[in-house]
Amino acid sequence: MNSDLRFSALKKTPFHSRTSLASRTNKWYTWNGFTVPTEYSTVELEYTAARNGTSVMDLTPMGKYEITGDDAHLFVDYLVTRDLSEMKDNTVAYIIWCNEDGKVLDDGTIFKYSSKKFMLCCAVKIFNWLNDSAEGFDVGIKDVTDTIAALSLQGPTSCSTLKNYGAHDLETLAPFEMKQFTIDGYNVLISRTGFTGDLGYEIWTDPENAESAWDSIFEAGKQLKIRPFGMHALDMTRIEAGFIQTNTDFMAAEDALRPVRMRSPYEIGMGWLVHFKKKNYFVGKKALKLEKEKSTTERCLVGLDIDGDKPAHGSVIYNEKKEDIGIVTAAMWSPTMKRNIALASLKRPYGIKIKDNIFAEIYHPEEIEYRKIWAKCKVVKRQFYNPERRNKVPADLYE
Amino acid sequence: MSDMQYDAIIIGGGHNGLVCANILGKKNKKVLVCEARENCGGMVNHEIINYVPSVPNSVSQSIGGLNLKYIPKGTIALSESGKHIRLIGNLHLDHATIAKFSTQDADRYLEFHDKMSQFSKTLGKFMLDSPPRIMNNNFSDYAKLFKLGLNVRMLGKKRFNEFARMIGLNIADELEDNFESTLLQGLIAHDSVLGSNLGARSPGSLINLLYRMAVHGNSLFGGIYEMEGGSESFISALLEKCNRNSVEIKTSASVKNCLIEDDKAVGVELHNGEKFFGKTVISNADPRSTYLCLLGAQNLDTDVKRRIKHHRSKGRVAKLSLELKQMPEFNDCDIEDLNSRMVVSPSIDYIEENFNPSKFDKLSSEPVLEICLKKDKDSNPSLDIQVQYAPYRAHGGWENIKEDYVNSIIKILSKYSSNIESCIESKTFITPDDIEQNYHVSGGHWHHGEIQIDQLFMLRPIPGAAQYRTHLDGLYLCGAGAHPGGGMHGISGKNAAKVVLGDL
Amino acid sequence: MPKNTHDIIVVGAGHNGLTAASYMAKAGLDVLVLEKNEWIGGAAVSRELFPGWKYSNCSYVCSLLRPEIMRDLELYKYGLQIIPYEGSATMMRNGDYYAHYHDHDMTINSIRRHSHKDAEAYERYSRDVLRQCKIIKPLLKMTPPDLTSFKPKDLFGALEFAKHFAAKDELGGLGEKEIYDTIRFYTMSIRDYLDEYFESDITKAHLAGSAIIGTALGPCSPGSAYVLLHHYMGEVDGSVGSWGYSRGGMGSITKAMMGCLNDHGGEVKPSSEVTNVIVKNGRAIGVATKNGDEYYAKKIVSNLDAKRTFLKITEEKSLPEDFVERIKNFKIRGSSGKLNIALDGLPDFPCIPEGDPGGGGDMHFTESIEEMEGAYDDWKRGQWSRNPYVDMCIPSKSDPTMAAPGKHYMSVFIQYVPFNLANGGWNEERKQEFGRHIVDCISEFSPNFKDLINHYEVRTPMDLDSEVGLTEGNIFQGELTMDQLMFNRPVPGYAQYRTPLKNMYICSSSTHPGGGVMGAPGANAAREVLLDMKMPQKGNYY
């Protein structure tokens, strides 16, 4: 190991030379032990790229784990709540996994190469969880976070950009499918996945290829409104899409200090990913079944449409009687929809049976003073934004 | 495939399994016992243990009374100087015996005995019943805790305070505060650490003694009785009961795994492919084997796997059996003395020097021994020697060091018996590894798991499985790994049967 | 009315005595503190034993001192400033090292060099230990209930105590699982506890250090996990578990406390060793000192450890027999020694790269739990550890007041050193032999260390006993084992800072929550005294 790395706090991604050059703001943040830009230019411009052209984000810090072995398919089916027995090769699935109490540890995506090889991508560190879970299965777990460079290309022109880059016939790739390409002599895996709720792809390649891939992609997207994209813009797009973020919208059960912060899938709107009919046992099944049978679910995670145009960051939600019924976990003013939207964790029956007459207490900063706004909210579907092009096959091309 | 439907299938025909089977059978339940070995009895076997102690009345009664005879067993703390301490359990006589060494010790011994008896009685009620869960919002669980609290409070202020202090105390402190004779200290300390992974100076070693006393009629050395006929008579008595209670027993029937349907245990599959179905499955195997082999790691939550993986169940007792050509002579011991339990544990420091290397799987050249002589009318005598702090998976590998070790034991013996070497006909040495191999007990631990506070009561064997129910519906634990632990008393078997009957 | 009458007399000017005295003085009482030494501070002192160098020659780092006490007594006004550690490191014989840093991400990266799994496990471990810190925090400020009493106050106290484990608190209540975890944490050995998280010897060895400092337990002894918690439950400005130096040495703490005391009319009399408590009609009415003076007061508060308080300065006949017996059996065992070293420059530790902040705090060279346990085994035999666990730090790296620029003060804490040394006990010759042994051990990791030594002071448990007045040299004034914690501390039934002798109180670390320069026993005791005097209690602590 490089000796000067011994006591440095943060790692650099293989794209660092490019991202640091592209960054005009020099604003960075820490993600999983890496430094990555929060924003390159301005949030609004980057956000617009994802809805107008192609946005490019350095995804390398994402936790990536390779699961191989004869029991790999059995193991992933055991690990997650979703039934993956029907999952086809070369596809991707959105998954969550729980601990023994049926509390969610994290969400992520699983990439299936074959029944003997998978890749799991997620936000929190789960190497030990995977290893401890693997007891009794013939599988090997490898942390490949540092050995795979990853980019996320999102936006209406992303397909064309990647086609120009060398991904032939990419438009035929359906959502949640993946395909191997050889581009510039390197293996490049492209999956039609993303975190923006729009047309988009994620590409996975050798770190050695990172810099030249970055250059080639920006060259390929030159006429297609390509733009580097930071974490803040991602946060906007994911809220519009109604995607949840671990340790923002809920605490990962292994990270939560307070047991009361742990959430079951039903409490974060992920009940649809729990399949009791699966043939084999899965972690948390016993507890989840009990929760379902006894209806002990306490909270829910919902979308809010809020009056006015002041984002409800961190607001407490009240009922008519001014009783505290929950909290906003993420909020924004949507530039595309011109709506004041938020994700909120509410105590049931609020959000499920009672959807109206609830209020957000917003503290809006106005030149060093905060104005308190009492804004009426309506519970709405969490997926605020879902354009038709997102799931279209073949994907839109700009030629 | 057999579609026989049982009420309960018991995996393992150890004494707990048989006690459990009998109780269920007595209630007209259809019970099958699958034993992997050729004979039932498990670790209640002369190969492993020195003698069989008395079975508690509550257990005996629950299966309709066992017709067993007992012989009281005295204890001798051997001293190289020949000034042995002989204790027989009669407090008056023991007082006189100890007074020969120190009058202060003799008086203190009575006080100590009285205090410990009271504590073991108080704790015993709680120890021997099924443990409560806390925070379960279940009335009977709270009632149990409340009752324990009340019992302890009823000891009176002085004793209560003493009790509060005792729970986490180490035995060495208590003994050094009370007694001046190092031999007496060594003897009592020996009984507190026997079968455990603790030294006399390890906090918590005192609770081990209380546990032992609770099982032995709340007496330090008086409650020790040897069963006439040993393990064979105990097990055959249980088997006879089984017969009467129509319990079906299959030997050489090694269970491969538990059959699971709809997240419920529905039967067992043997290694030969045979399948048996039952409403409940009860495992007399140790917790680790039960969870990882029978239940299967694929059917466990990750957190449970973590817990069971760190369940401490490495055995620390080996046994050396010496077949003898003639009766050995022990220095300054008469023939009566040879019927007692002879303990080589001259001082607390001696125990500690033994314990120290064992912590990291190394061996001491001067081990702590408990010796029992066995002599039948027709056959030659033999010496049963329990060797404390013989690690599981010894450093360097048992196969390479076994011989030297056995020789060092004999060397120690010859300090107390001048003619022992010439008496030896043959030697058999069984390590915890061997116990694991031959008796299917992972770790080869006497108690299927350490007797330490973090693995006792509602934490035994692991949190969430302490009420004899495992994490799988329909699968129960009835072995020594469950509360309260081992000791050839069958209490876990009895308690488990009660829980199973309730659920049936 | 005799002369020399005060409201309160505090025996011993250690940090707990001064804390108690300050609180009582602030409440308006006339407080006199009597100290046997010429200097004040007890075991929290900075002394210039070699010209130009200040030694924190007993306690040497600070973390546990309750922030509420610092706030109430306004210790900043009297010069107290805590400097957080930059990091800590364990040096390895193969030339490598293992380090923790003030920055979490750096720590994770550092652990990852040794084990990927351990780096991740560290996060789970930190969370679990932090949870235990949160659970215990409110308990530190409480007077333990008397569980044998049927008085409503004690019953409520017991309920209050239990509530923190069960009901809503800062953690929003614990589940069944967390309670089981808590019971296990309090009763396990640190070896077993760490085995549940970590795989590499070096990670375990580095973390286990906190579990053995100052105790007569080894890492394999059940109950040692709690000692780790005891060292973790402190905080430096909200950063739970971190440690720091007190600017100007540990004496700055007691100096600041004395400042507060003086400002509120209290007085400290040095060179006044209390020899006995004067008892009249079953009540403590005053004390007599070695030089023949007598002082009278409404309440006597002893900052001496339980053995000295009840067996030395109080006459046995004024105490119940079984109480005396209990106190005699109170475990208070010396297990640590210390070297205070004046250095001409900064010693090189080639294992740690130059400039690495890991070398900024405590440094060790014990690579495995097995080595640590071996050190303990030596102690059990009555010997000092041949291969000791040391906690070395160089406060002058961060604190400019300890030595002249370029010069350094090094504090070396040594575990294990017996009080009762086998084969004849301590004498000057063996003390020096012990000192040389430690210097040799350190030299193995620092080639220029010996050459830089200007002067060093060797402290054995015997010295701590005779000079500072810590029985057997035990730094916690009583072992931190289950049988001596909370309502068992110092003895069951007398854990409420009151003693069997009316008007006599005890405020030393022999009481709940124990030692470690926490101040909590002093503040808790002051609260009980004020309660009995029906005086108002004010401040953030209460």
Average pLDDT over residues A187-212: 97
Among all residues of chain C, which has the CA nearest to that of B176?
C329
Is B301 within 8 Å of A100 when comparing Cβ atoms? yes
Is A136 within 8 Å of B301 when comparing Cβ atoms? no
SS3 string, C493-512, reads CCCCCECCCECEEECCCCCC
Chains with ≥3 Cβ pairs under 8 A against C?
A, B
Between CA A351 and CA A379 the distance in angstroms is: 6
Instruction: Give me B9's structure tokens.
Output: 């299938």
CB atoms within 10 A of CB A206: 14
Between CA B358 and CA B389 the distance in angstroms is: 6
- Sign of the CA dihedral with A17 first, then A23, A24, and A28 last: negative
Between CA C308 and CA C293 the distance in angstroms is: 20
> CB of A254 within 8 A of CB of A129?
yes
> In this predicted structure, which of A353-357, A382-386, B475-479, C356-360 has the lowest mean pLDDT?
C356-360
Between CA C99 and CA C113 the distance in angstroms is: 10
The verdict on C175 touching B (C-beta cutoff 8 Å) is yes
H or E stretch including B283?
A: strand B275-283
DSSP A389: G
Scan for tokens 């107390």, then name that residue: B416
Distance from CA of A114 to the nearest CA of B (A): 21
Between CA A13 and CA A152 the distance in angstroms is: 14
* Phi, psi angles (nearest 5°) of residue A12: -105, 145
pLDDT tens for chain C, residues 1 to 542: 456 899 999 999 999 999 999 999 999 999 999 999 999 999 999 999 999 999 999 999 888 899 999 999 999 999 999 998 889 999 999 999 999 998 888 898 899 999 999 999 999 999 999 888 888 888 888 888 877 676 777 777 777 666 655 544 567 777 788 888 888 998 899 999 999 999 999 999 999 999 999 999 999 999 999 999 888 887 666 566 678 899 999 999 999 999 999 999 999 999 999 999 999 999 999 999 999 999 999 999 999 999 999 999 999 999 999 899 889 989 999 999 999 999 999 999 999 998 888 888 999 999 999 999 999 999 999 999 999 999 999 999 999 999 999 999 999 999 999 999 999 999 999 999 999 999 999 999 999 999 999 999 999 999 999 999 999 999 999 999 888 988 889 988 899 999 999 999 999 999 999 998 999 999 999 999 999 999 887 777 77
> CB of B50 within 8 A of CB of B264?
no
The verdict on C370 touching B (C-beta cutoff 8 Å) is yes
* Phi, psi angles (nearest 5°) of residue C307: -65, -45
pLDDT, residue B217, reads 80
Nearest to A151 by CA among A190, A116, A96, A199: A190
Between CA C133 and CA B55 the distance in angstroms is: 45
> CB of B220 within 8 A of CB of B111?
no
Between CA A118 and CA A114 the distance in angstroms is: 7
Residues across chain B: 504
Scan for tokens 């450093």, then name that residue: B395
Is the pLDDT confidence value at A2 over 70?
A: no
pLDDT digit string (tens) for C289-347?
A: 999 999 999 999 999 999 999 999 999 999 999 899 889 989 999 999 999 999 999 99
Instruction: Find residue B85's DSSP bridge partners.
Output: B77
Nearest to B398 by CA among B443, B429, B369, B368: B429
Between CA B252 and CA B13 the distance in angstroms is: 11
Is A284 within 8 Å of B301 when comparing Cβ atoms? yes
Between CA C276 and CA B291 the distance in angstroms is: 63
Is the pLDDT confidence value at A6 over 90?
A: no
pLDDT, residue B475, reads 95
> CB of B258 within 8 A of CB of B475?
yes
CB atoms within 10 A of CB C133: 16
CB atoms within 10 A of CB B365: 14
C370, C481, C491 member nearest B360 (Cβ):
C370
> CB of A64 within 8 A of CB of A125?
no
Is C380 within 8 Å of B352 when comparing Cβ atoms? yes
Choosing among C125, C177, C183, C323, which should be mutated to test the B contact, i.e. which has the most B CBs within 10 A?
Answer: C183
Dihedral, CA atoms, C480, C484, C488, C492, nearest 10 degrees? -160
Q: Which residue has the higher pLDDT, B336 or A201?
A: A201
Average pLDDT over residues A196-205: 97
Is A285 within 8 Å of B309 when comparing Cβ atoms? no
Between CA B196 and CA B359 the distance in angstroms is: 11
Between CA A44 and CA A230 the distance in angstroms is: 11
H or E stretch including A98?
A: strand A91-98
Between CA C36 and CA A379 the distance in angstroms is: 72
Is the pLDDT confidence value at A4 over 60?
A: no
Scan for tokens 């390409």, then name that residue: A181
Residues of C in contact with B160 (CB under 8 A): 147-148, 492
HSE-CB for A290 with a 13 A CA cutoff = 10
Distance from CA of C121 to the nearest CA of A (A): 7
Scan for tokens 């004034």, then name that residue: C477
Residues across chain A: 399
Question: Is the bond leading into A349 cis (omega within 30 degrees of zero)?
Answer: yes
Nearest to C333 by CA among C217, C225, C428, C242: C217
The verdict on C472 touching B (C-beta cutoff 8 Å) is no
pLDDT, residue B138, reads 65
The verdict on A296 touching C (C-beta cutoff 8 Å) is no
H or E stretch including A44?
A: helix A43-52
pLDDT tens for chain B, residues 1 to 504: 445 589 999 999 999 999 999 999 999 999 999 999 999 999 888 888 888 888 888 888 888 888 888 988 899 999 999 899 999 888 999 999 999 999 999 999 999 999 999 988 888 777 777 787 766 566 677 777 777 777 777 777 778 778 877 877 899 999 998 999 999 999 999 999 998 899 999 998 988 898 888 887 888 887 788 888 888 899 999 999 999 999 999 999 999 999 999 899 999 999 999 999 999 999 999 999 999 999 999 999 999 999 999 999 999 999 999 999 988 999 998 888 888 999 999 999 999 999 999 999 999 888 999 999 988 777 889 999 999 999 998 999 999 999 999 999 999 999 999 899 999 999 999 999 999 999 999 999 989 999 888 888 888 899 888 889 999 999 999 999 998 888 888 999 999 999 999 998
The verdict on C195 touching B (C-beta cutoff 8 Å) is yes
pLDDT, residue C170, reads 63
Is B173 within 8 Å of C148 when comparing Cβ atoms? no
The verdict on C491 touching B (C-beta cutoff 8 Å) is yes
Is the pLDDT confidence value at A5 over 60?
A: no
Choosing among A281, A282, A289, which should be mutated to test the B contact, i.e. which has the most B CBs within 10 A?
Answer: A281
H or E stretch including C124?
A: helix C116-140
The verdict on A101 touching C (C-beta cutoff 8 Å) is yes
Is B203 within 8 Å of C482 when comparing Cβ atoms? yes
Between CA A366 and CA C175 the distance in angstroms is: 43
Is A125 within 8 Å of C123 when comparing Cβ atoms? yes
Question: Is the bond leading into C222 cis (omega within 30 degrees of zero)?
Answer: no
Does the predicted TM-score (pTM) go above 0.90? Answer: yes
pLDDT, residue A9, reads 64
Between CA B426 and CA C57 the distance in angstroms is: 63
Q: Interface pTM (ipTM) of the complex?
A: 0.92
Between CA A245 and CA A120 the distance in angstroms is: 16
pLDDT, residue B152, reads 74
Is B202 within 8 Å of C184 when comparing Cβ atoms? no
Is C116 within 8 Å of A7 when comparing Cβ atoms? no
Instruction: Give me C368's structure tokens.
Output: 């495995």
Percent above pLDDT 90 for chain A: 93
pLDDT, residue A244, reads 95
Distance from CA of A154 to the nearest CA of B (A): 36
pLDDT digit string (tens) for A173-183?
A: 999 999 999 99
Instruction: Find residue C283's DSSP bridge partners.
Output: C280, C502
Which residues numbered 113-132 in A keep a CB inside 8 Å of some CB on C? 125-128, 131
SS3 string, C268-335, reads EECCCCEEEEEEECCEEEEEEECCCCEEEEEEEEECCCHHHHHHHCCCHHHCCHHHHHHHHHCCCCCC
pLDDT, residue C542, reads 74
> CB of C57 within 8 A of CB of C340?
yes
Mean model confidence pLDDT for chain C? 91
B296, B303, B306 member nearest A136 (Cβ):
B296
Give burial (CB, 10 Å; 0-12/13-18/19+) of B377.
Answer: exposed
DSSP A163: H
3-state secondary structure of A15: coil
> CB of A101 within 8 A of CB of A262?
yes
The verdict on B306 touching A (C-beta cutoff 8 Å) is yes
